[in-house]
Every structure is written in C-alpha cells, then in structure tokens.
Amino acid sequence: MIDAVKAAGGFHVYLAPGTDGRFGAVLAELGLEGTALGDAEAIATPAVIVLAPGEAAPEGLEDIAIRPPADAPPAALRELLRVALQNSVLKLDVRQLEEQARRQHRQFEELNRIGIALSAERDIDKLQEFILTTMRQLTNADGASLWLKTVDDDVPKLFLASSQNFSIDNTYQAFKVPVDEKSVVGYTVTMGTSQIYDDAYNPPPGKPQGGRGFDAQYGYRTKSMLTVPMRNYNNEVVGAVQLINAKRRFDVKLTVDTVEQEVVSFRPEDLEMIESIASQAAVAIDNKTLLDSIQALFDGFVQASVTAIEQRDPTTAGHSGRVERLTSGLAHAVTEVAVGKYRDVRLTEEQFKELRYACLLHDFGKVGVREHILIKAKKLVPGQLEVIQARFEFVQRSVQVKYATEKLEAIRSDNANLEQLLEIDRRLEEDLRQLRLWFDAIASANEPTVLPEDKASMLEVLSRQTYVDMSGREHPMLDPQEFRFLSIRKGTLDEQERLEMESHVTHSFHFLSKIPWTPIMRGIPEIAYGHHEKLDGTGYPRGLTDPQIPIQTKMMTISDIYDALTAQDRPYKRAVPLERALDILHEEANAGKLDKELLDIFATRRIFDLTAVR
C-alpha cells in the first residue's frame, strides 16, 4: 500500500458533491488531498473520481470513476482507493504503451514509405527536397538543410545542396564550409556522430555554436538543433542533415519573439529515426550520383561514336545531331496532339531518351562501309578522272604525231600542195575537237547529276573506241569499270556500291544489338534498323511495311530525309530549298511511302525550324 500511495503522488482525486466527509479522513491518512469535482474539462489526469452510489460519471470518464458503498468502513475505503490508484497507474501505462506502439507503427510505415520513395525518385533536386520535407514533418522541425561532401583542390568541404525553412522564404544560397570542428555540420561529419543541441547558442562543452551567422542575416533565432551524419553503403560519411527548431505545432511560423514559447528540444526517439532516414538518403543520393555518372559516361560514348562517324564522313558532319533534334521535336509534338490517329500516343521520358540515342547512333554502321564509297563525291573514284585525262592527252599527242608525220611525208613528196596540207590540218583539228568533246562529256557525266540520254549514248560510243599505245597494243578509250561508273543514272554510286552503302543500316543494327541495353532502352537497335524502310515495303534492308515499322522509326525517317535534302554540306548534291524539300516529302507521303499524318505535324508545327540556320 505504501508503494501504491507513493506512486499515486502525482494523481488527482476528485470528490463528487454527493460524497460525504469520510473520504477526507481516508485521503489524509494516505497523504493525499481531495479536490471538488467541477467542470469535466478541468479534470487533470492521471486521476480517480469518487462518486456517490448511483451518481453518473462525467462523459468519457467512467473508466476512472469509483462508487464506494455508503456503509463502507474506512478500511474498505482505503483498499478501494488503493486498487483504484493502481488501476489508474496501469491504465496510464497501457495508454502510454499503446501510444508508443502507434507512434512506432507510424514511424515504421513512414520509414517504409520513405525507403520506397527514395529508391524511386530519379530527379536529384526533387530527391533532396523530399528528404528534407519528410524529416521536417516527422520531427516538426521549422528548418532543414542537406550538406554533401565534396573535394576542392584536395581539401574536403561540405556543399549546401538544399535547404528549407517554413518561417522564412528563399533562404537557399549555394556555398561550402570546411570539414572541420568550427561549424556544427563540419564537427558532425568530422566526428561521424549525431549532435543534439537544446540551444544552438549554448552548445555542450567543447562543441561549436551554430546558427548565429544565419540568424543575423535573416533575422531568425536558431534554438534546438539536430545534426546527423549521412553514411553510404560503405559506412562512409558522405554528408550531413541538419534540422533546426523542433516546434510544438508543425504549421506555426516562428518569429524571434515566439521561439521561446513554440520551440522545443528534439526528442531522443527522433534521433534514431532521422539517423535511419539519413542513411537511406545517403544511399539513395549515392545511387543517383552513380547513375548520373553512368549516364554521363554513356553520353560521352555516344558522342564519341557520332564523332567517329563524322570523322570518316566529314561531308555529313552534324547530320546525326540534326536528325535527333528534328525527331525529338516531332515526338514531343505528337505527344501533345489531341486529334488524329496518334492522339493517344504519350511517350515517356525514358522513351524520349531511347529515341534520342537511336537517332544519334542510327548511322553508326557507316564505320563498316569502305571509306572511298562513304565519301564518294563523284561517279568516278578519286584519281580515275585524272587517269582518263592523261590517257586523252596521250591520245591527243598521238593524233598530233600521226598528222604531223603525214604532213611531213606530204611535204617530202613531189606532188604536195597547199590544199592537201590544209586538209591534213583540218582533219587534225577535227580529231582534237572530238577528243575534247568526249573528255568534256566524261567530266560532265562524272558529276552527281541525272545522266542525260545524249551523254549516255556518247559514253556508249566512246566505250567502243580504242587507241594504240607505244607498244602497238590496242586499248579501249574507257575501261569497263570507268564506263560502268560514268553510266550511273543518278547519284554517284553504282549498284554494287549502293548495296554496300545501304548495308550500313544492317551494320548499325548488329553493332547496337551487341550493347547490353537496360530494359527501357532495348528498343534502340530496332528503331535505328528501320530508318530507311518505307510504308509500302519499297525501303531497305528488310522491305518492311507500315504495321511492322515503329512510330519512332517513322518519325526518324521523315527527319532523316528532310535533313538529307536540305543539308548544305553535301558535295555530291545541292541543298534543296525548304519549300521544295517539303514538297518532296509530301510527294513521298502521297505515294504511300511516308506517314502522312506525322508529316503534317512536322510541317504544321514547323519542326524544321529546330535545325534552321540562324
């Protein structure tokens, strides 16, 4: 009984008006005082309410009320009060345990939710904001800041990556502090242990003050403070999180005058929870940084690959980048349309990234095409026209020697006359003129233009002409390869060369298929593989038709053709004006080769402006 009375020292005993004076004496024996029962809202717990038999308890307080019998002796009253006090102690313990269990359950659910959210968020700024907001909500903190460890000139420092303050707007300023014991965050990272301050201006002995510089700048008062180191999966300290001014109520904005009234110390249980979140946050940020590094590494590889392509074929420098800008612009426009057959198409950020890489790498297979074909600007390979020119010059000299010899013999003869000599000169000039016409025709046919019928016929005649070398052997004026190249009707490649050039698409596919793409990027090889396919099956290399071609590839095809038509840097053709390029594209669409609806979006949204020369 003595222990129970001692435990009851903080209890209140309320006496209802209907009780008699017996209770006063019993309470006095126990060292307690009774208080007259008044307004139910004024009742302080823990408590016991003593009621007269049959008297009703205040609403909601029946569980702490007792009704001793009117004839109960003092000993029974003492025992009844003792049991009531013990029951109140037990009920209070149960409520506290239940509240603790509910709080721990909420914390467990919150930690689980936070862990899922931290692993799912990919935007580093949103991730940092989420970390600080969550920690503030869990601790009722007014402000929070996140510091990440960095190195400047081999000196470790802490960089303020993000900050929040409920009572002050726009407090973030990017700056760095040394990793030393002069600042609270520096001290925390140096020691590798969490720090709890009841008052930042009056820290525990041997520890640095905090908050004065910030407070002077913003007219604030930093009081309670919790600073926790962030450890990654290797248990290395990679930063710190600092919370300031735990409040009684989360939604209260603090002023210097209200800090003493509204700010409380951080609870010990807050520390364990914040340390857990800080560790999760450190791992999440570490993972995001690693992913960013991998992304930067891959972007560098892609750019190096594009550079390698352009080094092999300088005439198409910038083509892959322009195709990427045009296709990405078209894809964004398609995602925004609300009518037509593509109104339900909504590409995700991952799909935009996948399309970007496919565009940049769509011509990588050109590394497998022989260089003289890749950069062939004329129908003849480099040096062939010079060989033909030298041959014609030899034939010209031979003709001149032939007629000079004939003229000399005529002069030596007794019957030579002026008319005969002039005839020899006329025939010489005629043969030289014919040689010049033939060579001019060859030089003209060598250009990457459509070969006219008259020049084709002349080449046919010339291929049958022969000359005799100094050894007396007969040779054609045009060898079979030269004739084949010069007879190319359009462009600069003959059928065999064209097939090799077209094989770059297959080379690209095989190369891209060897890369271990992530699941969200695995469509890159297939998207790039079809950029020369046509909806009617006349494209190459597989002759796919409309249903077999992905929409991303259809968009890339339009962009690829447009850039090829309008490019200013192609030595084998002139750039086509914008309007003519759009006309050609529409002709292809009307012929069932290109997607007409995608082309309409390309034209009406003026996607081509993305690569216009400014």
Assigned token pair, 465 = 């002409």
List the single range of 201-210, 281-290, 508-517 with lowest mean pLDDT: 281-290
Q: In this predicted structure, what is the pLDDT of residue 539?
A: 93
Contact between 585 and 558 under an 8 Å Cβ cutoff? The reply is yes
% of the chain residues with pLDDT over 70: 95
The answer on pLDDT for 106 being more than 60 is yes
Which range scores top for mean pLDDT: 428-437, 448-457, 549-558, 567-576?
Answer: 549-558
Calculate the dihedral angle through the C-alpha atoms of 79, 84, 90, 95, rounding to the nearest 10 degrees: 180
Q: In this predicted structure, what is the pLDDT of residue 295?
A: 85
Q: In this predicted structure, what is the pLDDT of residue 538?
A: 94
The answer on pLDDT for 212 being more than 50 is yes
Q: In this predicted structure, what is the pLDDT of residue 550?
A: 95
Q: Which fold has domain 123-290?
A: Beta-Lactamase (3.30.450)
Q: In this predicted structure, what is the pLDDT of residue 116?
A: 74
CA separation, residue 75 to residues 20, 23, 29, 30, 71 (Å) = 16, 11, 11, 12, 12
Q: In this predicted structure, what is the pLDDT of residue 73?
A: 83
Rounded Cα–Cα distance for residues 37 and 77 (Å): 18
Which range scores top for mean pLDDT: 310-319, 337-346, 586-595?
Answer: 586-595
- Break the chain into its structural domains and give their ranges: 2-97, 123-290, 313-372+496-611, 384-491
Q: DSSP characters for 37-61?
A: ---GGGPPSSEEEE--TTPPPPTT-
- The beta-carbon contacts of 596-599 under 8 Å, at least 24 apart in sequence, are 597/340, 597/341, 597/342, 598/330, 598/334, 598/342, 598/551, 598/554, 598/555, 598/558, 599/558
The answer on pLDDT for 228 being more than 60 is yes
Cβ neighbors of 211 (< 8 A, separation 6 or more) are 200, 201, 220, 221, 222, 225, 244
- What 3-state class would DSSP assign to 79? helix
pLDDT tens across 128-160, in order? 888 888 889 888 999 999 999 988 888 899 999
Q: In this predicted structure, what is the pLDDT of residue 528?
A: 94
Contact between 526 and 550 under an 8 Å Cβ cutoff? The reply is yes
The answer on pLDDT for 345 being more than 60 is yes
Domain 313-372+496-611 has CATH 1.10.3210.10: yes
The answer on pLDDT for 118 being more than 80 is no
Work out the average pLDDT over 240-245: 94
Q: Would the CATH topology of 123-290 be identical to that of 313-372+496-611?
A: no
The answer on pLDDT for 84 being more than 90 is no
The answer on pLDDT for 188 being more than 90 is yes
Contact between 238 and 231 under an 8 Å Cβ cutoff? The reply is yes
pLDDT interval class at 186 (50, 70, 90):
very high
Assigned token pair, 614 = 């400014």
pLDDT interval class at 570 (50, 70, 90):
low
Q: In this predicted structure, what is the pLDDT of residue 121?
A: 65
Q: Identify the CA nearest to 166 among candidates 230, 59, 245.
A: 245
The answer on pLDDT for 63 being more than 90 is no
Q: In this predicted structure, what is the pLDDT of residue 370?
A: 81
In 215-271, at which residue ranges do the beta strands (DSSP E only) sit?
Answer: 225-231, 237-247, 263-264
β-bridge pairing 263-264 and 237-247: antiparallel
Supply the mean pLDDT for the chain. 86
- Beta-bridge partners for 143: 165, 244
β-bridge pairing 47-50 and 12-15: parallel
pLDDT interval class at 242 (50, 70, 90):
very high
569 or 177: whose pLDDT is higher?
Answer: 177
Q: In this predicted structure, what is the pLDDT of residue 8?
A: 44
pLDDT interval class at 529 (50, 70, 90):
very high
Q: In this predicted structure, what is the pLDDT of residue 604?
A: 94
Q: In this predicted structure, what is the pLDDT of residue 274?
A: 87
% of the chain residues with pLDDT over 90: 39
The answer on pLDDT for 344 being more than 80 is yes
Q: Where does residue 294 rank: exposed (0-12), middle (13-18), buried (19+ CB within 10 A)?
A: exposed
In 356-499, at which residue ranges do the beta strands (DSSP E only) sit?
Answer: 466-468, 474-476
Check: pTM over 0.95? Answer yes or no.
Answer: no
